[in-house]
Amino acid sequence: MPLPHEKYLEEVLIDEASLQKRVAELGQQITADYAACPDLLMICILKGGIMFLVDLTRHVHVPHEIDFLAVSSYGKGSRESTGKVRIDMDLSTNVSDRHILIVEDIIDSGETLRFVMDVLLARRPASLRLCTLLNKPSRRRIEIPIDYVGFEIENKFVFGYGLDLDEKFRNLPFIGVVKLDALPEAEG
């Protein structure tokens, strides 16, 4: 019997072992870069970044805190950003004079992250860096500085490992490419 996600899966783009290896490497790099930092705050962009954050934080061996920021620019069932970003859930931590590392699942157009970075910069952190699991440079409309990149990918609609397909399948341990002809006509 096929699993529920299989009808939407065109191919596995990044397997579980490759994901975990790269996340560990990013954790080592972040640990080295923040070795002298007493005040690291890792901010996860919800919901997609949660799986990445959980695994990444296990490999960051400097004292740090975590907080969460929920923003949205995609409507339910949509594959395209609306271009209008809003904060759905704000931080519970004061970021003033803190060293901030944003942890994001995927950077596509750059519009959402530019908005988030501008909001956080207005709160006067000591530093602000960005870590993304996936970077899609071919879709970039707004250039933003990315300090840590897990994988660069082509312009493919992906899901799994925190990335959703209409809010489902975030729990998959790999990143797959969506079989577009399997989607209902109403989506996208």
Domain range holding 40?
Answer: 4-74+81-179
List residues with catalytic annotation: 108
Structure tokens at 25: 């490497």
Residue 57 located in a structural domain: yes
Nearest to 102 by CA among 84, 80, 120: 120
Is 185 a domain residue?
no
Per-residue pLDDT band at 135 (split at 50, 70, 90): very high
Give the pTM. 0.89
Taking residue 50's Cβ as centre, other Cβ atoms within 10 Å add up to 17
Count how many domains the chain has: 1
In a domain, 148, yes or no: yes
Please check the confidence at residue 186 and state whether its pLDDT lies above 70: no
Cβ-contact 132, 13 below 8 angstroms: no
Does some domain include residue 184?
Answer: no
Question: What residue type is assigned to position 24 of the chain?
Answer: A
Question: Does the structure show a pLDDT above 80 at 79?
Answer: no
pLDDT of the residue at 35:
94
Contact 144, 117 (CB under 8 A): yes
Q: What is the pLDDT of residue 75?
A: 54
- Tell me if 186 is assigned to some domain: no
CATH number for the domain that contains residue 113? 3.40.50.2020
